[in-house]
Amino acid sequence: MSKIISFFKKYWITILIYFGMVMAYKLIADYKLVAPFLFPPSETIVKAFGEYKDTMFKNMIASFQLMIPAILIALCVALPVGTVMGMNKRVREVLHPVIYTISVIPSILLAPFALLIAPNFRSASLFLVVYGTIWSTLFATITGIQTIDRRYLDNAATLELHGFKRFFRVILPAASPSILAGFVNSLRSTFLILVYAEMYGAKYGMGYFVKKYSEYGLYSETWAGFIFMVIVLVIVMQIFERVKSRLLKWTM
């Protein structure tokens, strides 16, 4: 009970904002203030939730089956490359302009090439999601290692820590706040590209669900899928924020 009270004390303003958003939509929909075809009554959206909840969960699982491997691949590339660039000035000077140039290309512009070159849609989608996810973590890793307090490295030298011991006990923990912050930010890009990829060619997924019913003109189902997708995103982001807070409990 104390946890519930503490939760409401902490988030009561946030809850009021969400409540205000719901009431604003209900006002717009019920009084048909804006495009009633696009803004169906809230009761029909709730009904669509009940009718399609199983379908939406199946599409969520399909999205996760694409998103989780993409995140793992992005981490496996971003962490080693970012570490080498952060620790080696010469490598950083050579590669940073090239990587920065590539990173500013929107993944949406690469979608036609990926769909034509990749052997199947899943491979193309995987490439696009990895491409959209990798950069925030990569640059955060470089920045986190570059900005390590010199005293940590001097203390490591005094304790005769070298090689992997120095990396895992000093460099990685010191850079982890920046790395984790970049990774959490990259999750937003992951969802954006994931939804985009699913909207164009997929047979399952949260983005596919929204696009499918919007094309049919069934906007109650479209809104239900959209709200469900936002709820999933918020839950995933909160989970990773909690994990980040636990891993960085030694920081302020």
Q: What is the pLDDT of residue 181?
A: 86
Which amino acid would we find at residue 9?
K
Q: How far apart are CA 121 and CA 206, in angstroms?
A: 16
Q: What is the pLDDT of residue 251?
A: 67
CA distances from 155 to 143, 168, 169, 250 (A): 21, 14, 11, 18
Q: How many residues does the chain have?
A: 252
Q: How far apart are CA 240 and CA 232, in angstroms?
A: 12
Q: What is the pLDDT of residue 93?
A: 92
Q: Give me the half-sphere count of Cα atoms (radius 13 Å) on the Cβ side of residue 32.
A: 2
Q: Go through the domains of the chain in sequence order and give each one's CATH number.
A: 62-247 (1.10.3720.10)
φ, ψ dihedrals at 103, nearest 5°: -70, -25
Cβ–Cβ under 8 Å, residues 55 and 209: yes
Average pLDDT on 46-70 reads 92
Which segments of 118-218 does DSSP mark as H helices, in order? 121-146, 150-158, 163-166, 172-199, 206-215
- Which of 143, 141, 142, 165 has its CA nearest to residue 153? 165
Which amino acid would we find at residue 45?
I
Q: Is the pLDDT of residue 144 over 80?
A: yes
* Tokens matching residue 186: 């990259």
Average pLDDT on 200-214 reads 84
Q: Is the pLDDT of residue 20 over 90?
A: yes
Q: E strand or H helix at 201, and its extent?
A: none
- End-to-end alpha carbon distance in the chain: 28
Q: What is the pLDDT of residue 252?
A: 58
The model's pLDDT over 159-173, given as tens digits with 9 standing for 90+, comes to 777 777 887 888 888
Q: E strand or H helix at 237, and its extent?
A: helix 219-247
The model's pLDDT over 94-133, given as tens digits with 9 standing for 90+, comes to 999 999 999 988 887 888 888 788 888 888 888 988 998 8
